Chain A
């Protein structure tokens, strides 16, 4: 839909440039360009996705918000008796033991992806952009994890981390010397273990995005910088990086969203407990499980939605600003 608005806005902008006097007549002509058939097609192209969007995204979202004020257990229909006001939120912010750890873990996840994984992906992209020998092979290797679903990534890393029969402890000789590191079970390190697994995939993702961006940077900019006597580092940080602003925004948004929706790996490891609590696993464990605390789970979902709106709105604002 963003597509439609942008293309629609372009002729209007052109009209404005042409001068206010002819604006009215131009508008009329623009409309007359559309036949009835065109309008029908346009209506369908906008209407069908819009209907899906309303039914599949806005509907469930609003339903979650409504359910968050109930104590519905998922059985039968929601009745007036189910409405309990803001009690779920009081409980969530007041006494629920797992909310604060989950929030911290999401923040740690975000911090690690932002400070370690994303810069590493960018670094790899810059290296590979220099046309070193075998660049395509490296690209493929780093990109392969991106093709895998996170669930599979979770399984792969679970096998690496397993205490006695996992690869890491055996490779380090820890199983033989009876000094097992409990990567998955020690609540002080299992979050780090999980986020490393997530980074394994994230690095490749960022690398590919950034590499595509780097390829589109005008080579004359670099040449000009070189002529001016800039070092490689200076060229990257003062010339290339600022030019890449649109890609940078996308990467920041993707990193944030990846951290907020982090779920699969923690859930596969131990269903998000014992140091791996995340907002998403709390939602699942409360509402889509035998516990059936649908109302309470929805309240957590609404909190996560509210947090997610921050990067989403930032992204939309920046995208809508860019075309002009």
Chain B
């Protein structure tokens, strides 16, 4: 499907202090971090080769991102002495489901993936190649926060960050202007706006959770605002319990806005729910910036009309963190590719090419909804929406990737958290204690994560 999903535990923090880094490293031990600090010197210069071929496995299966990938590849061929890029595009969801067997079989040289927990997992398992040599050459083009996001538990580097995007509350400027709505900054104002929209015949909040993950975004932001970044990360990694009263709090807050969702949310994809916003049937939509793809497909005018605001404050001490989900996409190098030994030079060159702002701009221009991460990106051409997205991430003191990237995939998946949230949305005022019990029971039944 077209999800732009979710990544690993936060490793991106733009107000980066040493203490923050330690905290953010969440999964890695202090020892690993210290080792990381001293490991930068191991690599020699990377060898890049021109001509020849390089193979690329891509999960960019939606039309616009796919086009972006093809444009980048064409530019690479031109820039790298005619290197032929053999692209293998796999449906986004399928690629994700099969990643374990893909990496162990005969993968392409380079593949698209997500930063964070799931990147480090495969690095620990030895299924991806460290790219320290390439990283050394390009690291000046990334902030420390992005560097942390592609660093494995062993201190080596495993990927090139290529884009990211924030989750926020999206709306149409024209609808707000016509009806005289004001952007709500507090919970009460947000709820009052929902009431007003309902009176005006709008569905206040769009939601399409057939695929199971979109509702996790709302869980994330409510938990971050109510209970803070530390609790959220600990909860998702099993250091806190889902039976905690603080989790109950999340669900009771959620129940205050749940009545304002559209009907049929459990049977609609995020794209179908986005159409409610495009068609001005719904007023607001909590989703990632990738929602703009649906507006871009509609018309340029629709895209220009799209705007967003940060999820409102909930009146807790954690409001100040301004935390949000902002997943990072990366390109990485496999280990078992049969052609890699022969094409390592081209693969290195390909990764280097992706580290340039100009390359990342090609992709993000073709598929709006993602933001380049390289320092040397020419930001002069950014539209207002992208500029604002950069700003909201800069203002965030804590950044997470997304529920199903910050937590273990067997817990977050369809027969797991996705099911629990769907049954919650079925009856938000139902028995939350029993639901929390089920979540914890399920977590406890999972084998230790190797």
A185 close to B265 (CB less than 8 A): yes
Contacts A185-B267, A289-B97, A291-B410 known; list 19 others, CB within 8 Å.
Answer: A75-B127, A163-B263, A178-B263, A179-B263, A180-B264, A186-B266, A187-B422, A269-B210, A270-B212, A273-B415, A273-B418, A274-B422, A274-B423, A282-B415, A286-B415, A289-B413, A290-B410, A291-B413, A293-B447
Which of B25-33, B99-107, B314-322 is the contact stretch? B99-107
B409 close to A290 (CB less than 8 A): yes
A interface, CB within 8 angstroms of B: 71, 73-76, 91, 95-98, 161-165, 178-187, 190, 269-274, 277, 281-282, 285-286, 288-293, 295-296
A290 close to B212 (CB less than 8 A): no
Q: Report the 7 A-B pairs with minimum CB-CB distance, sorted nearest first.
A: A185-B266, A163-B264, A185-B267, A291-B410, A184-B267, A290-B409, A182-B264
Q: List 18 A-B contacts (CB under 8 A).
A: A75-B127, A91-B445, A161-B267, A163-B267, A163-B272, A164-B268, A164-B275, A185-B268, A271-B211, A273-B212, A274-B426, A281-B415, A282-B415, A285-B413, A288-B97, A289-B409, A289-B413, A290-B96
In the complex with contacts A164-B276, A270-B210, A274-B266, A95-B441 CB distance below 8 A:
yes
Contact partners of B414 in chain A: CB under 8 A = 270-273, 281, 285, 289
Closest chain-A Cβ to B303's Cβ sits at a distance in Å of 21
Number of chain B interface residues as a range: 35 or more
Q: Does B301 contact A (CB under 8 A)?
A: no
Q: Does B98 contact A (CB under 8 A)?
A: yes
A-B interface pairs (CB < 8 A), number: 123
Contact partners of B276 in chain A: CB under 8 A = 164
Q: Does B442 contact A (CB under 8 A)?
A: yes
Contact partners of A165 in chain B: CB under 8 A = 272, 275
Closest chain-B Cβ to A174's Cβ sits at a distance in Å of 9
Q: Give residues of chain B (109-131) contacting chain A, Cβ–Cβ below 8 Å.
A: 125, 127
Q: Interface SS of chain A: helix, strand, loop or mixed?
A: loop
Inter-chain CA distance A293–B414, complex, in Å, is 13
Q: Does B450 contact A (CB under 8 A)?
A: yes
Contact partners of B48 in chain A: CB under 8 A = none
A75 close to B410 (CB less than 8 A): no
Inter-chain CA distance A282–B104, complex, in Å, is 23
Contact partners of A187 in chain B: CB under 8 A = 266, 422-423, 426
Contact partners of A190 in chain B: CB under 8 A = 267
Q: Does B419 contact A (CB under 8 A)?
A: yes
In the complex with contacts A163-B272, A291-B413, A183-B422 CB distance below 8 A:
no
In the complex with contacts A162-B272, A288-B97, A71-B266 CB distance below 8 A:
no
As a 0/1 sequence over residues 409 to 450 of chain B, the CB contacts with chain A under 8 angstroms (1 = contact) are 110011110110011001000000000001001100111001
Contact partners of A180 in chain B: CB under 8 A = 263-264
Contact among A97, A163, A281, A292 with B268 in the assembled complex (CB-CB below 8 Å): A163
B interface, CB within 8 angstroms of A: 96-101, 104, 125, 127, 209-212, 263-268, 272, 275-276, 409-410, 413-416, 418-419, 422-423, 426, 438, 441-442, 445-447, 450
Q: Which residue of B lies closest to A87 (CB)?
A: B447
A285 close to B415 (CB less than 8 A): yes
Inter-chain CA distance A178–B98, complex, in Å, is 40
A98 close to B98 (CB less than 8 A): no
Contact partners of A178 in chain B: CB under 8 A = 263
Closest chain-B Cβ to A278's Cβ sits at a distance in Å of 11
Inter-chain CA distance A274–B266, complex, in Å, is 8
Contact among B97, B275, B422 with A273 in the assembled complex (CB-CB below 8 Å): B422
A71 close to B447 (CB less than 8 A): yes
Q: Which residue of B lies closest to A190 (CB)?
A: B267
Contact partners of A185 in chain B: CB under 8 A = 209-210, 264-268, 422
Contact partners of A183 in chain B: CB under 8 A = 267
Contact partners of B101 in chain A: CB under 8 A = 74
Contact partners of B416 in chain A: CB under 8 A = 291
A273 close to B267 (CB less than 8 A): no
Q: Which residue of A lies closest to B264 (CB)?
A: A163
Closest chain-B Cβ to A105's Cβ sits at a distance in Å of 13
B264 close to A95 (CB less than 8 A): no
Closest chain-B Cβ to A159's Cβ sits at a distance in Å of 11
Inter-chain CA distance A1–B450, complex, in Å, is 45
B438 close to A97 (CB less than 8 A): yes
